[in-house]
Amino acid sequence: MDFDLLTATRDKLARASDLGMREIASGAQVELRWLYMFRKGQISNPGILQVQRLAEFLTRRNPA
Alpha-carbon torsion, ordered 10, 15, 16, 18, to 10 deg: 160
Chain length of the chain:
64
Q: Which CATH class is domain 5-61?
A: mainly alpha
Interatomic CA distance for residues 3 and 35, integer angstroms: 21
Nearest to 12 by CA among 42, 35, 29, 32: 35
- The closest of 7, 18, 3 to 61, measured between CA atoms, is 18
Task: Report pLDDT digits (tens) over 36-64.
Answer: 999 999 998 999 999 999 999 999 987 66
pLDDT single digits (tens) 6-30: 999 999 999 987 889 999 999 999 9
